[in-house]
Amino acid sequence: MYKAKAYSTASATSPLAADTIPRRDTTERDVQIEILFCGICHSDLHYARDEWHSVMPTVYPCVPGHEIVGRVTGVGSAVTKFKPGDLAGVGCLVDSDHTCPNCRDGLEQLCPNQTLTYGSPDRHLGGVTYGGYSESIVVDERFVLHVPANLNLAGVAPLLCAGITTYSPLRRWGNLAGKKVGVVGLGGLGHMGVKFARAFGAHIVVFTTSPGKKEDALRLGAHEVIISTSAEEMRQHAGTFDFILDTIAAEHDINAYLNMLGRDGNLTLVGAQEKPLAVSAFALLLGRRSLSGSIIGGIKETQEMLDFCGAHNITADVEVIPIQKVNEAYERLVKSDVKYRFSIDMASLKSE
């Protein structure tokens, strides 16, 4: 075991602050990574502030961060996929049971015995796992991804969660070429959803509560933008969508978006609000519509997504910040003021 610098929070109301955490020495299957950039996901904020208490109560101290990109600094004797000096990525998962039907199908994100990058029981050291707001991390090579060398690393980090979380449901929905696809909420997930849906050939409409994001939505690849607070704009598009990806991070009226779907249309929810949604039966019955959820993606699909991004030159639009600005960034996330992902330059942790 060794000590690593990190930023942690001690309670739901404390700011994140400098700390040191234990990391395990590399076992034979492990890859040790010096973290270069870590994205800030809204899930980090939900978890750090115990906003998912009824589903997943937060264990403190908590070190968030599951959009990790860095360089390999050490490998265990049985590691075959990585060597020191390689680029590497780690997302929301660091382990699973490898034996359940979901793992066997490459769907580790659905494994009942998975280990999340932060906040899960740590099978090696006891206590809980600590995430990427840290100078290094040690991860089983089966959960470490190869990062294409041609991409900007600050913009690659968010692909490990925001990227796969939008890529996976869009891919699963089938051939989107020419389909009318809605992306609800233009934040970290939403802006990646727009980029992927564009790459898949869809006709993309962004729903936003922020009129100031309209130009950006078009620049990112949307064909049309609806200001969702305008009843008139919403009415004009009612019943016309094939697929809608809902990335809203807070309580909202899901029926307003279900009513946008056409016949057999599907709304997939990826936004993770804690409170139950009130779903109108008629919003589903009329039009034979369906409502689904989706959570990140499996390791194989995450690698496929990263390779796709390498081939199509896709990264997140990031605002790079030093770790010392993380609390300010959280406040801005709450106000939907992010363009379109914060990426922490982990070199800033050296001065702590």
* CB of residue 4 to ligand NAP, shortest distance in Å: 24
Q: Which of residues 150-169 bind ligand NAP (CB under 6 A)?
A: 161-162, 165
* CB of residue 161 to ligand NAP, shortest distance in Å: 5
* CB of residue 127 to ligand NAP, shortest distance in Å: 24
* CB of residue 158 to Zn ion, shortest distance in Å: 9
In whole angstroms, what is the distance from residue 250 CA to residue 51 CA?
11
**Contact range with ligand NAP by CB under 6 A, out of 125-133, 138-146, 206-214, 234-242:** 206-214
Task: Confirm if 86 and 30 have CB atoms less than 8 A apart.
Answer: no
Task: Confirm if 48 and 65 have CB atoms less than 8 A apart.
Answer: no
Residue 84 or 211: the one with the smaller Cβ distance to ligand NAP is 211
- Tell me how many residues contact ligand NAP (CB under 6 A): 31
Pick what 295 binds: ligand NAP, Zn ion, none; C-beta below 5 to 8 Å, kind-dependent: ligand NAP
Q: Which of 131, 185, 298, 310 binds ligand NAP (CB under 6 A)?
A: 185
**Contact range with Zn ion by CB under 5 A, out of 35-43, 234-242, 248-256, 270-278:** 35-43
In whole angstroms, what is the distance from residue 70 CA to residue 345 CA?
11
**Contact range with ligand NAP by CB under 6 A, out of 14-22, 117-125, 174-182, 294-302:** 294-302
43 is a contact residue toward Zn ion (CB under 5 A): yes
Pick what 338 binds: Zn ion, ligand NAP, none; C-beta below 5 to 8 Å, kind-dependent: ligand NAP
Residue 275 or 350: the one with the smaller Cβ distance to ligand NAP is 275
Amino acid identity at 273: Q
In whole angstroms, what is the distance from residue 217 CA to residue 195 CA?
10
Pick what 187 binds: Zn ion, ligand NAP, none; C-beta below 5 to 8 Å, kind-dependent: ligand NAP
Q: Which of 107, 225, 249, 261 binds ligand NAP (CB under 6 A)?
A: 249
In whole angstroms, what is the distance from residue 343 CA to residue 151 CA?
14
For 193-230, give one letter per residue: b (16+ CB within 10 A) or e: bbbbbbbbebbbbbbbebeebbebbeebbbbbbbbbee
Helices and strands: H and E segment counts in the chain: 11, 17
| 11 contact partners, CB below 8 Å, separation of at least 6 | 60
Residue 250 or 347: the one with the smaller Cβ distance to ligand NAP is 250
40 is a contact residue toward Zn ion (CB under 5 A): no
From the list 306, 296, 314, the residue with the least C-alpha distance to 169 is 296
Helix axis angle, 162-172 to 188-199, nearest 10°:
40
In whole angstroms, what is the distance from residue 168 CA to residue 67 CA?
16
Phi, psi of 139 (to 5 degrees): -135, 140
Q: Which of residues 60-99 bind ligand NAP (CB under 6 A)?
A: none
| 259 contact partners, CB below 8 Å, separation of at least 6 | 238, 239, 283
Q: Which of residues 134-193 bind Zn ion (CB under 5 A)?
A: 161
Residue 147 or 160: the one with the smaller Cβ distance to ligand NAP is 160
41 is a contact residue toward ligand NAP (CB under 6 A): yes
209 is a contact residue toward ligand NAP (CB under 6 A): yes
In whole angstroms, what is the distance from residue 104 CA to residue 111 CA?
10
In whole angstroms, what is the distance from residue 117 CA to residue 257 CA?
32
255 is a contact residue toward ligand NAP (CB under 6 A): no
Pick what 205 binds: Zn ion, ligand NAP, none; C-beta below 5 to 8 Å, kind-dependent: none
Interface positions with ligand NAP (CB under 6 A)? 41-43, 46, 161-162, 165, 185-190, 208-210, 213, 247-250, 252, 270-272, 294-296, 333, 336, 338
Residues in contact with Zn ion by CB under 5 A are: 41, 43, 161
